[in-house]
Copies of this chain bind each other. A is one copy, B any other.
Amino acid sequence: MASNSQFAVAVHILSMLAQKSDEKIKSECIAESVNTNAVVIRRLLCNLQEANLVVSQKGATGGTQLTKRAEDISLNDIYEAVSTGEVFSLHPSKPNQDCPVGKNIESVLCNLQKDIDDVIREKLVRYTLADVLESVENDVVLA
C-alpha cells in the first residue's frame, strides 16, 4: 500500500539523538545523515516535540535532545507521533445504502482497520529505541 516515509525518518532521527544522548544535535547534521533538507527534519522534530519525545532549543548553541532514555521510548510512541492514517483507506464515496452489501460494508471494514492498527501497535510496543540503536550499531536484525 502506498505510504510515506515519516515513520522511517523519525526512527532515523531518534536513533541519532539516542546515539549522542548527552549532546544537542542540529537539524542540519541529521539532514546530512538522512540525506534530505533540514526543513524536512525540523518538520518531523516538531511532531516529535508535540509527542514529548524530544526538546529543541533555538539559538546559536541550539539543537535537539531526547526527553527520556531510549529504553523508555517504544516504536509505538514514534508511530503515534507521526502516523497520519490507517493501513488501508475506505473508498472516498459512500457506498449505495440501498444495496445490502453497500449498507453495512463500511462499518465492517472500519472495524477491520482498527483491528489491523491494533496488531501493528502490539508489534511496535515490543521494540524500544534502544533496541533499534543496538541493532543499528551491531548491524543485526531487530529482535
Contact = CB atoms under 8 A, between A and B. Distances in A.
A contact residues, range:
35 or more
A76 to B, nearest CB: 11
Nearest to A84: B1
A87 B112 CA distance: 15
B2 A137 contact: no
Interface string A47-81: 00000000000000000000000000001000000
A interface secondary structure, majority: helix
Contact of A3 (B1, B12, B95, B141): B1
Given A33-B95, A102-B34, A123-B115, A89 B19 contact: no
A136 interface: yes
Nearest to A13: B101
A94 B35 contact: yes
A35 B102 contact: yes
B141 A8 contact: no
